[in-house]
Chains A and B, each alone.
Chain A
Amino acid sequence: MKKETTVALSMGVILGLIVAIVMIVKIKHDETQKTKSITNIVITPTIAPNQQILSLEITDPSDSVIVNTNTISVKGKAAQDSLIVIQSPIKEITLKNAKTNFSVDFPLSFGENVIRVTVYPKDLTVRSQERLLRIYNLDEQ
């Protein structure tokens, strides 16, 4: 290829790139100008500390599990300082969890144990939460 042709091509490409960049910048600038009036109002919602309620979670035991023991540890997570009520056909326990994680030893009878865990958060405006577990204490040897 001739030297002159190469120079002409290069200059053409460079010029083209410059034009493209200028156009893109201009379009972006115009867009921000158009939407400026909408973005003037900035909404920053603030969540008050008492609205951050942790959902009740039972980490152990799993529902419908078969065990061969007379006690089980009911472990879970709930909002701090909640009233926790655990009830089954043979026992009920009430406690307040000083920490998010809780663990309670609960007795089991032979056969099916229907255990309801209810949490009443410290913030009384928040609804209570419940979980139902069925634990099967069976001696299958």
Chain B
Amino acid sequence: MKIKFQLIFYWSIVLFFVIVVAKSVASAESVATPSGTMQIDKQVQNLKDKIASKVEELRKKDQKALAGVIKSIEKDNTIKIVANDGRDLIVKYDNSLTKIFLVAGTTKKETQFSDLQMGDYIIVTGPIMDITISANYIYKDDQFVVQVGKVTEVNKTDYFIKVISSEKDTYTLDIETYTKLFLMDIKTLEMSKSGTSKIKEGDTVHFVVIRTEKEKELNRHSAERILVIPQEYFSK
């Protein structure tokens, strides 16, 4: 009796596996028909295209540029620059691949490698490996400094102010005729055009200057833009 039960049990297991295998073979055959294969190929191709466009989108989104001042230009067409974060970087220029532009207002103008000089501020894009960039594009641009600080001296005769920045650097800003100077209303926060006469010691100023690396005096620049926040704003 016991042996009979065992036999029945073993044969049930064998039968179960046979049924399962038969079913899976049958379903595989139905997929492997000509129309089924084409459908899969189309789906695979669609998926590949979607992945490729997503990768391209992410690549563009994550593209970054590096900028710095030219320290030296070597004979083998490499440029050594000091980046904004203080790192020394090497830019590799390729005669046939690299394009060089001069940033002129809202547009760019193509120029030559020979137009680059020591002290120029350049923006470089291209693949970066460690400290070396293989330049696809090089743009020669102005080096803008955007800072904020407290006014320590106002000279209304010679039209300059001295400012100590949040990084404890002292700047001398010459107020020129082209300097865009704004004063913030402490109540409405609206900005209005103003003159040097409205600036007082202790006021906070946000300013923009162009660094040329040829300044005669350290941190003395002509101011491009100044926004004055009166000290009364901070004592209300």
Contacts and interface: CB of A to CB of B under 8 A. Distances in A.
Contact of B139 (A92, A109, A115, A138): A138
Interface residues of A, number: 31
B136 to A, nearest CB: 7
Given A85-B227, A128-B166, A110 B106 contact: yes
A114 to B, nearest CB: 5
B136 A114 contact: no
B110 to A, nearest CB: 12
B144 A112 contact: yes
A116 B146 contact: yes
Given A88-B146, A89-B146, A136-B125, 8 more contacts: A83-B189, A85-B206, A87-B146, A109-B105, A118-B206, A134-B67, A138-B137, A139-B108
A65 interface: yes
Interface of B: 61-67, 84, 103, 105-108, 123, 125, 136-137, 139, 141-142, 144-148, 166, 182, 184, 189-191, 206, 208, 224-225, 227, 229, 233-235
A88 B225 CA distance: 9
Contacts of B107: 110
12 contacts: A62-B64, A64-B66, A88-B146, A92-B191, A111-B142, A115-B146, A116-B206, A128-B148, A130-B148, A132-B146, A134-B84, A138-B123
A132 B225 CA distance: 17
A41 interface: no
Contacts of B106: 109-110
